[in-house]
Chains A and B, each alone.
Chain A
Amino acid sequence: MTARSVQHDSFSIDRDYDFPPARVFAAWADPAAKKRWFADTEGFSGIEYALDFKVGGLESASGLHPEAGRFTYDAVIHDIVEDKRIVLAYRMTMDGQPISVSLATVTFKPTASGTRLTYTEQAAFLDGLDNAGPRREGVAAQLEALAAQLQPSTAQA
């Protein structure tokens, strides 16, 4: 029998953006916009992406990494409060093996200079194939890519 293990962990990231909540939220709600900062990751080929942004709607992303193989991401949206909050659950596989299931809560709060986004992930990492360290780095990089995408000069490029 294959050894099975689950490591539960959680982490939270705050990221400030110089744009109002409606603008930041839209980058999570619009499939074309989200694909760019979320799925179009350097080092991956054959990227596929789809998003049906509604409660109960599905989101999927996949791409081929030259060393680690194909990664898949499949999410279902659990909660949406327009311009304020998104809660989704997602599972990931690497080279056909399930590596994690997570609940992600994203909140958008207005600040003097724009928006504070808080991303909290509660995760079950499966069979020792992933952990919170690299996951946190991956999410932080995506939130950075979102910042770059929101800048008008980048948006026109």
Chain B
Amino acid sequence: MTTAITHDDFTLEQVYGAAPERIFAAWESVEGRLQWQRPADHLHMVYDASDFRVGGCDVSRCWAEGDDAYEAVVYYQDIVPDRRIVMSETVSKAGRRLSCALATVEIDPVASGTRMRLTVQIAAEEGSEVFAGYREGWGALMENLVSHLTREAVS
């Protein structure tokens, strides 16, 4: 990032027909995340490192065939089992840092299952596509989680 930085945030919320423990597990497990956090079927996604604990760090890469990979470095900042995860993240492409963000996952039991609320606070260059990219990307992943939980339930 080399030009002026601007800030934005958004919150997404969805109710899942699964217990809080299963929602938390979908975040905790690298295998789980590889299933529902891959943005699209044609994209490759790998984890080079993962350490799910406060102070721990994940490094993952996601790419389309023939294109440079997006690299995400995530630091876990707060973890309350089955209730909350707060993480900070830097996304880079071809060695260039594109954005920094703070993401909060709040997991609350409700009558029909679990309400998950995701709040993302972003710092990136003015006019950057990452603001829309984050919002659209996470909107799709919130839906992916529904199918992931369904697949888990039937398998």
Contact = CB atoms under 8 A, between A and B. Distances in A.
Interface of A: 1, 4, 6, 8, 10, 55-56, 74, 76, 78-79, 81, 85, 87, 89, 91, 98, 101-103, 105, 107, 120, 122-124, 126
A120 B7 contact: yes
Given A6-B104, A78-B90, A101 B83 contact: no
B9 A98 contact: no
Contact of B119 (A8, A56, A76): A8
A101 B1 contact: no
A120 B2 contact: no
A20 B77 CA distance: 34
Contact of A56 (B73, B80, B101): B73
A89 B102 contact: yes
Interface of B: 1-2, 4-5, 7, 9, 11, 54-55, 73, 75, 77-78, 80, 83-84, 86, 88, 90, 97, 100-102, 104, 106, 108, 119, 121-123
Chain B interface, >50% SS class:
strand
Contacts of A8: 9, 11, 104, 119, 121
Given A91-B86, A105-B5, 7 more contacts: A4-B106, A6-B106, A8-B119, A89-B75, A107-B4, A122-B121, A124-B102
Contacts, number: 88
Contacts of B80: 4
5 contacts: A4-B108, A89-B88, A105-B7, A126-B84, A126-B86
Nearest to A118: B5
A79 B90 contact: yes
A79 B83 contact: no
A89 B83 CA distance: 21
Contacts of B9: 8, 10, 122
A105 B99 CA distance: 11
A89 B100 contact: yes
A6 B5 contact: no
A104 to B, nearest CB: 9
Contacts of B75: 76, 89
Contacts of B101: 103
A98 B78 contact: yes
Given A91-B78, A124-B86, A103 B100 contact: yes
Contacts of B106: 4, 6
Contacts of A126: 78, 84, 86
